[in-house]
Amino acid sequence: MKRKMHKEFTKFTKVMKDRMDMGLKKYGDNYNQKDILQELLDEAVDLSNYAFLLYLKAKEFNKK
């Protein structure tokens, strides 16, 4: 299990780095001028929305 977790974590960190690079390429250094606290709050709300949608999908999957 540890090997599989490590492999998945490595994939996950690559996705994080790729997204960071994409953001820097798209927005440049403007991220330094953003209100990071507000960005965090907005992302937390988005994450909650995604969690709710996943919950609904899981309920539908469970019915099948």
- pLDDT category at 55 given cuts 50, 70, 90 is very high
What CA–CA distances, in Å, run from 20 to 5, 13, 27, 31, 55?
22, 10, 10, 11, 27
Highest mean pLDDT among 17-26, 27-36, 44-53, 54-63: 44-53
- pLDDT category at 52 given cuts 50, 70, 90 is very high
Cα separation, 30 vs 23, in Å, equals: 10
pLDDT, one tens digit per residue, over 5-25 is 999 999 999 999 999 999 888
Q: pTM for the full model? A: 0.59
